[in-house]
Chain A
Amino acid sequence: MPGIDECLLEAMALPGARGASLVDWTSGLALGTAGDSPVGDHETTAAETAELARSAAEFDSFTAGDSVTAGGERPGPPVEDLIVTTRAGYHVLRFVETSFDSSVFLHLWLDRDSGNLALARIRLRDLAERLVLG
């Protein structure tokens, strides 16, 4: 998988996918987008989801004692994903681990009826890895 667009296209191929983006959670910048945004503007959604991701990545309750694993200390937050369930949909935010300093995550917005949350989580984990590991 060569890059961001291919990664987002694959995410959009999941059942019930309505929108996908790759977002930087420090700045709130959308590095790439596909499909729709719940508010009709991907940049607004990126800024909002970035705030949520930043909280999860930085609050001690989610990270304390978790950054050192059996494999030694790794860069990036130990949080793997976030799921927000609404009446009409699911939002899955999957952190992307890079071996240079970055703060990005994949955001997938799914229709609640046609989406498959369990499948989406597994596929997003896989996509997040392949995006940076090839």
Chain B
Amino acid sequence: MSRTAVSPMLVRLAAEKATGALLRDHGTLYLVDGRVVHAESPAAPGVDVLLTTGGRLPREGWDEAVDRAGAHRAVGRFLVDSGRLHGGELEICHLGAVFDAAFFALSPTSGPTRFRYGVGHWFGTVRPVSAEAVERETVRRRELLDAVWPYASVDTAPVVPRPPSPGQTVGARQRSLLAAADGERTPAELARLLGRPAFHTLLDVRRLAAAGLVETPLDPVPAPPPPAPLSALPVEDPDIALLRRLRDALEAL
């Protein structure tokens, strides 16, 4: 893997087997012995949203787990030990949330990157992932989005459905996404509403946009062009029409 590192600092911290929190503009990665054990981003729904939205866990069940085990940094473990979740469910849900948040946390930024040694997360360790795997997956996800539909403007704009062509169908997951798209909600808001990872929602929105089922907003709203001196000439100016006719006549010779 000779690709440029997504975060040179993460590579260095992994090499020195550091433990602590890597703070970036769009999220935080938590490391234990250089491996990623947790990630958070304001752009990505947390494990609590993923588990409670679909009704897998009542909100009180989650809150109680945080109350009882948060101080020991063992909320994940507690959810399983207390019978609220099964081990496989926790791993599937938590890994999904970690890669999701890491994708946003590692997004390109000009802001500062800081590392706080020794800081842990109250959720605790479930299934550590190598920093290299997280970086690789983040790069793969960026490339995947652009391979599907290379217009990043759909990632942050409100999702506006378009009518399907005759006979055009979509799968159940995309159908429920379109049903929740009221023309105002952004992909991140839809992810939270549906209790789905945010990257999955971005990917589905790009797929829908590629299929013409979601509007693709024009890339950054173009700045108003500076008033050009030529614009003073009205197109319908009779002299211009005369000149065009003259040119056409000359070309026809």
Contact flags A72-90 to B (C-beta < 8 A → 1, else 0): 0001010000000000000
User: Is B227 at the interface (CB under 8 A from chain A)?
Assistant: no
Inter-subunit contact B200/A103 (CB<8 Å): yes
Inter-subunit contact B172/A77 (CB<8 Å): yes
Question: What chain A residues lie within 8 Å of B196 (beta carbons)?
Answer: 101
Q: Which residues 59-97 of B sit at the A interface, judged by CB distance below 8 A?
A: 86-93, 95-96
Q: A63-B172, A75-B54 are in contact. Are A28 and B127 (CB under 8 A)?
A: no
Residue of A28, A31, A131 ringed by the most chain B CB atoms within 10 A: A31
Identify whether the interface residues of B are mostly helix, strand, loop, or mixed: helix
Question: What chain B residues lie within 8 Å of A28 (beta carbons)?
Answer: 140, 144
Question: What chain A residues lie within 8 Å of B203 (beta carbons)?
Answer: 26-27
Q: Which residues 14-59 of A sit at the B interface, judged by CB distance below 8 A?
A: 22, 24, 26-29, 31-32, 43, 47, 54, 57-59
Inter-subunit contact A132/B88 (CB<8 Å): yes
Inter-subunit contact A100/B54 (CB<8 Å): yes
Residue of A32, A77, A100, A103 ringed by the most chain B CB atoms within 10 A: A100
Closest to B200 in A: A26
Q: Which residues 89-135 of B sit at the A interface, judged by CB distance below 8 A?
A: 89-93, 95-96, 99, 127
Closest to A63 in B: B172
What CA separation (Å) do A92 and B86 show in the bound complex?
24
Question: What chain A residues lie within 8 Å of B50 (beta carbons)?
Answer: 100-101
Question: What chain B residues lie within 8 Å of A4 (beta carbons)?
Answer: 88, 91-92, 127
User: Is B173 at the interface (CB under 8 A from chain A)?
Assistant: yes
Q: What interface size band does chain A fall in?
A: 35 or more
Query: Tally of A-B residue pairs with Cβ under 8 A?
Result: 99
Question: What chain B residues lie within 8 Å of A24 (beta carbons)?
Answer: 96
Inter-subunit contact A102/B96 (CB<8 Å): yes
Closest to A4 in B: B91
Inter-subunit contact B199/A101 (CB<8 Å): no
What CA separation (Å) do A43 and B50 show in the bound complex?
25
Inter-subunit contact B200/A27 (CB<8 Å): yes
What CA separation (Å) do A1 and B96 show in the bound complex?
20
Inter-subunit contact A43/B56 (CB<8 Å): no
What CA separation (Å) do A132 and B53 show in the bound complex?
18
Q: A43-B140, A102-B96 are in contact. Are A134 and B86 (CB under 8 A)?
A: yes
What CA separation (Å) do A50 and B55 show in the bound complex?
26
Chain B residues with CB under 8 Å of chain A are 50-51, 53-57, 86-93, 95-96, 99, 127, 136-137, 140-141, 144, 169-174, 194-197, 199-200, 203-204
Given contacts A3-B90, A100-B53, A101-B194, 13 further A-B contacts (CB under 8 A): A2-B87, A3-B91, A7-B88, A22-B92, A24-B96, A28-B140, A28-B144, A29-B137, A54-B171, A60-B169, A100-B93, A101-B54, A102-B96
